[in-house]
Amino acid sequence: MLTVVSPEKLYLSPGTVVRSPATWQDYQTLCDQRGDNSIPRLKYRAGEILLMSPLPQHGRDSSLIADIIKVLLDSKDCEYDSFTSVTMQLPEESGIEPDYCFYINNWEAVSGKKYIDWANDPPPDLVLEVDVINYSNVEDYLPYKVPEVWLFRRDETLIYRLFDDKYKLQSHSQYFENFNVAKIIDQGLDIAYSRNTSAAIRDLKKRLAGDD
C-alpha cells in the first residue's frame, strides 16, 4: 500500500491507518496541507496523530446508518441538525472528525451557525462512528462530553452513553428508547447489501408506518 506523508504530498491508500508521535502544531500543519479535502481523515490525541484513508464500505455504512437515524428522528417529529465532514477541535488537546454528528436536544444552540466553538458551544447530542479498520475510539469524545456515541464495528452497533467522565455500553439509545436500533441497523444493512441503500430506507419507512 502506498503511503506518502511529506510537505509536498499527503496520500494514503484506502484502508490504511498511520499513527505517529506529533505535536499540536504538527497536526495543524497536516490539516492545512490537506485543505478542503476530506481524505485522509486526521485525528489528534495525547501527543500523537492518526491518519486514515477509508474504504468504500466505510462511506456506505456511515451514510446508511445516518439516514436510518434521520428516519427515526422524523418518525418522532423531532427537530434536529446533522453534520458530516465536520472537524471538532480543542487546541493542544484533541482534534477529531466524526462520521456524523446530530444535535437533537441542543439543535437551537447551533441553529444557523457557520462555525461552532467546541470549547463553549454544546457538543453534539449523538455522534456516529463507523470503524472498519480499527481507527475509532469512543474515548476520543470524552474531552467534548458528547452524551452518546454509536460505534459500528465488526457488524455490531455499540451504543455508549456518558456518565460523569466515563462512557458505558448501553442496550438502548436514550434518544430512541422505544426502538431496537441495533436490529434496525442490521436489517437495513442486510437490504442495502443485497439490493441498495434506497431499498433499505424505503423498507424502514414502511415498517414504521405499519405498512409491512
pLDDT in tens, 105-164: 999 999 988 889 999 999 999 999 999 888 889 999 999 999 999 999 988 999 999 999
pLDDT in tens, 42-95: 999 989 999 998 888 888 999 999 999 999 999 999 999 999 878 999 999 999
pTM over 0.85: yes
Interatomic CA distance for residues 69 and 74, integer angstroms: 9
C-beta separation of 132 from 58 below 8 A: yes
pLDDT in tens, 176-189: 999 999 999 999 99
* Residue whose entry in the numeric block shows the C-alpha cell 455508549: 160
What 8-state DSSP symbol labels residue 193?
H
- Sketch out the chain's domains with CATH numbers: 1-53 (no CATH), 55-208 (3.90.1570)
